[in-house]
Structure 1
Amino acid sequence: MGQVRGGLAVGARPWVAPLQELARLRAQVRRHRVAYFFMAPFVAVFFLLTLAPVLVATYLSFTYFNLLQPPTWIGWSNYRALLLDDDIFLIGVRNTLFFAFIYGPVSFMASFTLAWLINQLRRLRAFYTLAMYAPSIVSSIAISVIWLYFLAGDRYGLINYLLMRVGILEEPFLWLRDPRTTMPSIVVVALWMSLGNQFLVFLAGLQNVDPQLYEAAAIDGVRNRLQELWYVTIPVMKPQFLFASVNAVVASFSVFDIAVALAGLPSHLYAGHTIVTHLYDYAFIRFEMGYAAAIAVILFLLTFATGRLAFRLFSTGGAY
């Protein structure tokens, strides 16, 4: 036997181990070839529609690209201009974070609370479920038309009319033009639209909780609905919480259509400007695709980091 020096046998060939690992990998692929065959369509679609666009956008974020000329490599210039010189982007980040920190938790808690209350009903449950879910299947443009009537800045706007009738306001208030109320108004409309999808997920999870768990909890001393909720329902529904929280994170950082429909593009004093609005401005109005790609990369990193936090909070096994 050869002597051992530095963890390797004297005379051993260093390329043998990689070849052996490659042979084991080929044997594993051959053994599970049917499983890999069924995975292949999903892997191909995931690469073409998800991974490849992310990689292309990351590359373009380091270039100057105007759709008419080939991309020109400029290094970190887009990120330097975005983070140090673009004041409008910083306003968009502030507005997006304001929207996310209110919209995400409030929509999550309100959807679960309403689902839990409606799940307690024995009559008219289907009616209330339909009433809660209906706003989420209506387009944001149609919803904005309705809410523009509510938030109109003249005396014919419904909110102004009611507040003036009861004496709270003496003259009409510009809800969508005043920087103090533009983003809160967008949050309210977005919350009204978003409750349906998460509500349906929570209601389905509540109806799938095994009743025997409640019986076992009653034997162990659980005496009321609130204790059942805390000790049985919430721990069992962690998968639904995880799904809904990830959806809330994505929706929080991707707010665009309802903000533009209500506040315009650009909004007054950029009070309703968001990260996605800034991205749309540079991508499809100014056609500066490299700069827009840098905005998209930063948005991706923000969404990914917040999504990972949601995974850590609601993962069932702590493996994420």
Structure 2
Amino acid sequence: MQQSMSSNSGANKPSHKPPSWWAYRKKQIKSSKHSYFLMMPYSLLFILFTILPVVMSLILSFTYFNMLEAPRFIGWQNYTRLFLEDDIFLIAVKNTLLFAAITGPLSYIACFIFAWIINELNPKMRAILTLVFYAPSISGNIYFIWQMIFSGDRYGIANGLLIKLGVLLEPIQWLKNEDYILIIIILVQLWLSLGTGFLAFIAGLQTVDRTLYEAGAVDGIKNRWQELWYITLPSMKPQLMFGAVIQLTTSFAVADVSINLAGSPSVNYAAETIVTHLIDFGTIRFEMGYASAIATVLFCIMVGTNLIVQKFLRRVGE
């Protein structure tokens, strides 16, 4: 009898339901309201100048918009035209993917190697070499140097040197010959690649705890390569992620080098990239709907590539 009464009383007790997701989130926001208040200025700027333009570009990519008339919805016509009718866009995609496949990994590895070597020097020499390597990426109009090197007459540095050595008999129009344009642009971009990612690697190497190397020696790490793989790289994963995003974005968004050296458009579109194609339709022809479709495709390629690279970098040190 007592057991039945106790069981009935237990059944009559109110059950405590777990709080809903919204209630839990509301409580968390209330407890951290000062942090959210401090984040508000950046969040507003991020929404206004990053998220909103991306959403607007996505919407405009389904319209015909020439900046003189109101946007007119046309469905998938821009994308159909892009992939089935625009042969120049396909050339631009091929050039961009080739460019990114070469300059992306090479510039990323070069940034880390130079940062790793410079980090081993004394502070004064480290500061000087960091400035020397970083300077080309922040210089103003540095393309005239390469225009002098690859000038198409005998006074060009490359032509003059090769003629003097007997390699050439006549000067080569380096920047007007489609066999050389893309190679030269890749070379110049690699020269410019030691930028923000390079500084991030320098900063990351400075934050590695030196006691980890001593602990690693006790645990059986025998050489610098094992230190690099099992201690250095895992300790600076945030900087590795940041550097990967920066270098890949730079390699996919190349335009200035191509325009300044090869012109716009380049000879037979040999140096055409997705961004130069986007600039052509967006700022010259003012076909903003079509330009938005190009931007959306480029955005999807960048996001997909970055996700793959980040998945690979998470395995570093395993």
> Normalization by structure 1: what TM-score?
0.87
Tell me how far apart the structure 2 counterparts of residues 159 and 37 of structure 1 sit (CA, whole Å): 58
Matches within 5 A, 1:19-38: 25-38=25-38
Residue 109 (structure 1) aligns with: 109
- In structure 2, what residue type is equivalent to 1:242? M
CA root-mean-square deviation: 2.2
CA contact (8 A) 1:239 1:315 kept: no
Instruction: Please list every run of 5 or more consecutive structure 1 residues that lacks an aligned counterpart in the other structure.
Output: 1-16
Matches within 5 A, 1:207-226: 207-226=206-225
Which whole-Å deviations, capped at 9, do the CAs of 1:92-146 have from their partners, x for residues lacking one?
111111110011000011111111122223373332222111111102xx11111
SS at match of 1:195: coil
Residue 12 (structure 1) aligns with: none
Residue 271 (structure 2) aligns with: 272
SS at match of 1:172: coil
Matched, 1:50 2:50: yes
Aligned residues: 299
Tell me how far apart the structure 1 counterparts of residues 125 and 27 of structure 2 sit (CA, whole Å): 58
Shift of 1:24: 5.4
Residue 306 (structure 2) aligns with: 307
Matched, 1:182 2:172: no
Matched, 1:128 2:137: no
- In structure 1, what residue type is equivalent to 2:120? Q
Shift of 1:20: 6.5
Which whole-Å deviations, capped at 9, do the CAs of 1:260-302 have from their partners, x for residues lacking one?
0000001011011110101110111111111001001001101
Tell me how far apart the structure 2 counterparts of residues 215 and 88 of structure 1 sit (CA, whole Å): 57
Residue 6 (structure 2) aligns with: none
Shift of 1:81: 0.3
Tell me how far apart the structure 1 counterparts of residues 81 and 309 of structure 2 sit (CA, whole Å): 31
> Normalization by structure 2: what TM-score?
0.87
Residue 80 (structure 1) aligns with: 80
Matched, 1:297 2:307: no
Shift of 1:60: 0.7
**Higher deviation after alignment, 184-193 or 225-234:** 225-234
Tell me how far apart the structure 1 counterparts of residues 253 and 20 of structure 2 sit (CA, whole Å): 47
Matches within 5 A, 1:112-191: 112-122=112-122, 124-139=125-140, 142-191=141-190
Residue 194 (structure 1) aligns with: 193
Tell me how far apart the structure 2 counterparts of residues 133 and 207 of structure 1 sit (CA, whole Å): 17
Tell me how far apart the structure 2 counterparts of residues 145 and 175 of structure 1 sit (CA, whole Å): 14
Shift in CA distance, 85/131, structure 1 to aligned 2, threshold 3 Å = same
Instruction: Please list every run of 5 or more consecutive structure 2 residues that lacks an aligned counterpart in the other structure.
Output: 1-16
- In structure 1, what residue type is equivalent to 2:74? I
Identity among equivalent positions (%) equals: 49
Tell me how far apart the structure 2 counterparts of residues 177 and 303 of structure 1 sit (CA, whole Å): 30
Shift of 1:27: 4.5
Residue 59 (structure 1) aligns with: 59
**Higher deviation after alignment, 127-136 or 228-237:** 228-237
Shift in CA distance, 149/286, structure 1 to aligned 2, threshold 3 Å = same
**Higher deviation after alignment, 202-211 or 153-162:** 202-211
- In structure 1, what residue type is equivalent to 2:73? W
Shift of 1:306: 0.8
**Higher deviation after alignment, 44-53 or 261-270:** 44-53
SS at match of 1:152: coil
CA contact (8 A) 1:238 1:316 kept: no
Tell me how far apart the structure 2 counterparts of residues 170 and 195 of structure 1 sit (CA, whole Å): 36
- In structure 2, what residue type is equivalent to 1:291? Y
Which whole-Å deviations, capped at 9, do the CAs of 1:48-95 have from their partners, x for residues lacking one?
111111111111111110100001111100000001000000111111
Residue 7 (structure 1) aligns with: none
Shift in CA distance, 44/76, structure 1 to aligned 2, threshold 3 Å = same
Shift of 1:236: 1.8
Tell me how far apart the structure 2 counterparts of residues 50 and 26 of structure 1 sit (CA, whole Å): 26
CA contact (8 A) 1:92 1:273 kept: yes
CA contact (8 A) 2:254 2:275 kept: yes
